[in-house]
């Protein structure tokens, strides 16, 4: 599969709207997590909520697309000159040669959840109009983004839970490698909804405090919401390009909601990313962990890291800033990797007070200066869907 040149990328989440604000929050160690006050959810937990989505002006001509998920997608697209970069790609390749592949776990399900609250008390009929296809259906987000950007290329959604917006890069490789597209808008968008808040709570996976990944006293995840996008094209010879060198995918086939305890699927995803990039493990300067603060997941990921890298691999989890953004986690943390390479720093692990003594990796708690050249970013989802992205500069790469 071809290497992907990252022409532009952007991230919006509870810690910041756009890359500059997000980078400031990362450097200043400002978390976007706060006690859950989402709708009337009665849950003792913290969430990463993007402020202002409910009151954001919404154009009348886009009324049929109005839902929290598409509002966050719209806000994300407006950042970092992303629309202009896509316009430039259209001028170079044509409107039919630019595809859209987005990841999401629940899409705009909140729109339907709220509609059920307004059912006719006599008939149970849902309110009209209920725009299911343009709000709730899994492909509504990529359809919305394609319409918003005026594109005509292939479009589809990937929904493999928390690995969704990592796997979109593998799809982009295939679309470009097969000659179907010259450029692809990839990314993910997932927003807060009652299904995920109560669902993860019922599984006893949500923490009553801001998540503490890798901490021996970690008590669960903090759910967040985010939108992120990248415009990718086939690689060029420009040594300054930021690239996705390789994508590794695997499936545990072990349990619906629990990873293999030895992290065998996670290990295989990381090994496949290295193999696809034709790199050895010692080429990786930093690993951005999936690192949810789940007791089982963090331990399994550490075992997988030790199997691939040996003890002492530099790594951290950044979910203390954003929360676990589920279907948008892959793109959010890919952007963090890109910011680390471009701006010369390695983020630490927010909220974590000490590292679990059973872990063998070099789990960084504090930010540190440095200039990582190559970053591995992990996203592991329910059902054992695993994805690892290897990205960075081409410096020293044949």
Question: What positions carry a catalytic annotation?
Answer: 162, 290, 324
Please state whether the peptide bond connecting residue 364 to the residue before it is cis, i.e. omega within 30 degrees of 0: no
- d(CA 248, CA 275) in angstroms, rounded, equals 8
Strands ordered across the beta sheet of 223-224: 33-35, 46-48, 223-224
Report helix, strand or coil for 4: strand
The three-state (H, E, C) secondary structure of 56-85, written as one string: CCCCHHHHHHCCHHHHHHHHHHCCCCHHHH
Tell me how far CA of residue 262 lies from CA of 11, 299, 359, in angstroms. 32, 8, 13
CA angle 349, 302, 46 (to 5 degrees): 40
**DSSP element (H, E) containing 194:** helix 194-202
- The residues with which 288 forms a beta bridge, in sequence order, are 316, 377
- d(CA 66, CA 1) in angstroms, rounded, equals 37
């Amino acid at each position: 599969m071809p290497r992907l040149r990252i022409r532009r990328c952007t991230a919006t989440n509870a810690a910041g709207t756009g890359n500059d604000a997000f980078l400031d929050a990362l450097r200043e160690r400002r978390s976007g997590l706060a006690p859950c006050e989402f709708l009337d959810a009665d849950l003792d937990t913290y969430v990463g909520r993007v402020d202002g989505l409910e009151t954001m002006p919404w154009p009348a001509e886009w009324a049929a697309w109005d839902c929290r998920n598409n509002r966050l997608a719209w806000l994300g697209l407006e950042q970092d000159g992303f629309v202009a970069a896509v316009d430039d790609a259209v001028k170079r390749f044509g409107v039919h040669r630019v595809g859209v592949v987005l990841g999401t776990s629940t899409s705009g399900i909140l729109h339907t959840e709220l509609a059920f609250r307004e059912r006719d008390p006599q008939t149970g009929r849902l309110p009209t109009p209920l725009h299911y296809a343009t709000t709730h259906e899994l492909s509504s987000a990529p359809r919305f983004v394609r319409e918003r950007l005026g594109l005509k290329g292939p479009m589809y959604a990937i929904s493999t839970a928390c690995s969704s917006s990592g796997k979109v890069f593998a799809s982009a490789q295939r679309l470009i490698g097969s000659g179907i597209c010259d450029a692809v808008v990839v990314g993910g968008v997932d927003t807060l909804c009652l299904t995920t808040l109560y669902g993860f709570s019922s599984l006893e996976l949500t923490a009553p405090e801001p998540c503490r990944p890798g901490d021996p006293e970690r008590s669960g995840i903090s759910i967040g919401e985010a939108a992120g996008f990248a415009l990718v094209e086939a690689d060029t010879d420009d040594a300054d390009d930021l690239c996705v060198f390789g994508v590794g995918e695997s499936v545990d086939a072990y349990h619906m909601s629990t990873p293999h305890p030895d992290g065998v699927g996670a290990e295989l995803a990381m090994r496949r990313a290295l193999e696809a990039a034709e790199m050895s493990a010692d080429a990786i300067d930093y690993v951005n962990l999936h690192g949810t603060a789940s007791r089982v997941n963090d331990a399994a990921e550490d075992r997988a890291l030790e199997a691939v890298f040996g003890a002492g691999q530099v790594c951290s989890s950044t979910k203390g800033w954003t929360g676990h953004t589920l279907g948008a986690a892959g793109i959010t943390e890919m952007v963090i990797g890109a910011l680390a390479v471009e701006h010369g720093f390695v983020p630490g692990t927010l909220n974590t007070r000490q590292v679990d003594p059973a872990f063998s990796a070099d789990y960084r708690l504090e930010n540190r200066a440095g200039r990582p050249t190559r970053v591995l970013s992990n996203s592991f989802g329910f059902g054992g869907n695993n994805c690892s992205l290897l990205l960075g500069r081409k410096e020293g790469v044949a």
